[in-house]
A and B are shown apart, each in its own frame.
Chain A
């Protein structure tokens, strides 16, 4: 009896192991930035290019950094979520306009609406490298101390907002942040 059950158990174990592996999304690379201070920005703002935006500008309350570009198809779907987020919460949304043309970016905002508190311009992708961005859209949730607490790879959905962002933001408040 044992000679049949042991291989069967081993086989079922392997099937479960591989099934788990196959269901993971290989695009979701765990970010080394979680619970680390956010990197510097130090780039011009989209609407007022003579002004720069720094990490220190984001401190004091939670903030969402959203990496986007007008050429990014997935950003279009995400845009609705960002607009709703801006409408329904107090969370400042800082855009990071990644490798985009200024006119195209401004046109996008004029057409689709502007959920951003302010937008930083990453013209050559240098800030993206500093932040470990490897595709747009990506979003980072910063706590009031400027520490990255959550990273979303790919478009934000309202489900993510409700299940991840809002509970985290509430936890910052209870921590007295």
Chain B
């Protein structure tokens, strides 16, 4: 018998963007494990995923950005390539019904064919950090001191970088939490745990939530209905709807 040549590609005929939350038991899994959790969820929901060709076909599953283990995600983005066209609302219902505990299906929207790949134009992330209430008194002073610096040299994986320019916003919330927008996506990524260390806090003592992903206005990926440039398009109030084409 001849050597079989693997399976042919199943090109996606439709694409969908899913905004989801990662919380509960899933807070404690890393990105690779989250991918498997998603695959199991999609199989339970009998979603007709498209696959790449070859001996080891890969499902058409694209995450906008991986979320570090231990962080809670409130508005993560995922794009699915399917071999059939489904009604987004029906897909939403199926996913919600079959989702693993800890996986919240917030919204599902179909994506037009000409829309650029998910992740294009990603420029930053919004985080909300909850600290021990006892730390609240010294927090304003620490924030002010940090923001007054012009450079914060750091090293990650033996590469030097400057954390300071990656901090786009850093402020106290009314509830005493810490809200920050950090650069990420195209260029270097600012990590909230590094910011916490710079403020003098042990990140393991904090609860870190990613509240949204921000996209450049120029990259034209914000979904319809979100006007502001660099708006956190995936905050719970905004849908990851079909994006206007780049033309």
A and B assemble together: no
Which A residues form the contact surface with B (CB < 8 A)? Answer: none
